[in-house]
Amino acid sequence: MTKNTRYYVFTDSNGKQKKVKVSHLDSNANSINVKGKVQPITVTEAGTNDLIVSSSPHVWSKTTTSKIMLDVLIALLPAAFASVVLFGLQAFILIVSCVASAILAEWIFQALCKQKVTISDLSAAVTGLLLALNLPASVPWWQGVIGSIIAVVVVKGLFGGIGKNFANPAITARVIMLLAFSATVGAAVQPSIVDATSTATPLYILKENYGILPSLFEMFVGLRGGAIGETCAIALLIGGIYLMARKVITWHTPVIFVGTVFILMLILNGNVEVALYEILSGGLLIGAIFMATDYATTPTRAWGKVIFAIGCAIITVAIRMWGSYPEGVSFSILFMNILTPYIDRLTRKKPFGGVR
């Protein structure tokens, strides 16, 4: 440690360069003591060519994980509220059990592993809420608890925690639950406020070409069968607009995902109305807006998001048209999560003077 009193130029946490009087400079560290406050920086001595390079990051943002997750929770509130209105007490119980068990599971797992407890970043709450909204009202609370534990502990915790999981925890847990509890997770449950004569979902009616479809207005406001959080399109669109306005997500993935499904269905069926039903049915909107935009498991660059969204759309359409399941959104996002590292490698920018 060399002690001197000089003026140095450094980049503060807001990205602005400042010339300050520095009392302590550690040439082997990545911080300086500026008037008693230690700050991670890249330092250049004013008036000379000396440069001390610190480790990244060099540009700091006020955006934190907890702020991002809070925005996602706020964006999900309209869909959560709509689910309780449409499906009643069972939807409320399912939401509370999934969220509470996700938070508790993360706390217990991190405590047992002697890791830093990070439940305050709200990521576990987001995972629990997303899982609940992707389940039908027929799912008992204890199955929701099992799904939350799978999502938080198996899919996220065992891979190192938030940002290190290779697949979306809520989607992976839902797929596992669909295989383990197919009778309840795969059930076609109608909203409790609807006097329905059919228990089939719109996707099943479209696939089998048998039954009476709800009107497009009923599809838009959620008066149709499906998972508790996927039925009300207007609530999901409000949440998506909020996230875009807050710059938590970009338009690339949701718009291209939904738009590509619409175009492909229009080409395959030759009917605009059928294509509209396809984008309002199933979990397309909740998947495109909230799960195909997950930071950790989707591409980071714009062109990568475009490729990811088109891939999700193609797989979704293929499963809906020719697969044994009427819905393919969860499977498509999960499959494209696996391809994300390769998409990032394909679309990364070449550094100036570097070799790609």
Q: What are the tens digits of pLDDT across the range 57-102? A: 656 667 788 999 999 999 999 999 999 999 999 999 999 999 999 9
Give Cβ neighbours of residue 94 (< 8 Å, ≥ 6 apart): 132, 135, 137, 139, 141, 144, 228
Of the candidate ranges 197-201, 242-246, 269-273, the one whose mean pLDDT is the lowest:
197-201
The reported pLDDT for the residue numbered 19 is 57
Q: What angle do CA 39, 41, 42 make, to 5 degrees?
A: 160
Residue 15 has what pLDDT? 57
Per cent of the chain over pLDDT 70 is 80
Number of H helices, E strands in the chain: 14, 6
How many whole angstroms separate alpha carbon 345 and alpha carbon 256? Answer: 21
Q: Give the per-residue pLDDT at 29.
A: 45
CB atoms within 10 A of CB 114: 6
CATH fold, domain 65-346, is: Ammonium transporter fold (1.10.3430)
**Does position 20 have pLDDT exceeding 70, yes or no?**
no
Confidence of residue 48 (pLDDT cuts 50, 70, 90): very low
pLDDT at 189: 87
Tokens (6 digits) for 268: 């395959």
Assign 3-state DSSP to the chain and report helix, strand, coil percentages, each to 5: 55, 10, 35
Longest dimension (CA), the chain: 83
Residue 4 pLDDT:
46
Higher pLDDT, 239 or 204: 239
Phi, psi at residue 300, to the nearest 5°? -95, -25
Sheet of strand 43-45, all strands in order from the earlier edge strand to the far edge: 37-40, 31-34, 17-25, 2-11, 43-45, 51-52
The predicted model gives 233-244 an average pLDDT of: 96
Range name among 16-20, 45-49, 157-161, 323-327 with the lowest pLDDT average: 45-49
What does the pLDDT average to over 230-253? 95
pLDDT higher at 44 or 96? 96
pLDDT score for 58: 59
Spans of all domains in the chain: 2-52, 65-346
Mean pLDDT of the chain: 85
H or E element at residue 327: none
pLDDT value of residue 194 = 74
How does residue 279 score in pLDDT terms, banded at 50, 70 and 90?
very high
State residue 96's pLDDT score.
Answer: 97
* pLDDT at 315 exceeding the cut of 70: yes
What was the pLDDT predicted at 292?
A: 94
Question: Is residue 54 very low, low, confident or very high in pLDDT (cuts 50, 70, 90)?
Answer: low
pLDDT confidence of 3, banded at 50, 70, 90? very low
Which pLDDT belongs to residue 59?
62
Per the model's pLDDT, the better-predicted residue between 31 and 86 turns out to be 86
Residues 30, 67 contacting (CB under 8 angstroms): no
> Average pLDDT in the 319-324 region?
90
Tokens 């990545």, residue?
A: 30
- Per the listing, tokens 């995902």 go with 257
Q: Which residues are CB-neighbours of 212 under 8 A, at least 6 positions away? A: 197, 198, 205
Residue 217, SS3 per DSSP: helix
What would the pLDDT profile of 287-308 be if each residue is shown by its tens digit?
999 999 998 899 999 999 999 9
User: Residue 193's pLDDT is what?
Assistant: 79
In this model, does residue 27 exceed pLDDT 60?
A: no
CA distance 18 to 8: 8
Q: Which residue has the higher pLDDT, 205 or 99?
A: 99
Structural contact between residues 94 and 181, judged by C-beta atoms closer than 8 angstroms? no
Beta strands of the chain (E only): which ranges? 2-11, 17-25, 31-34, 37-40, 43-45, 51-52
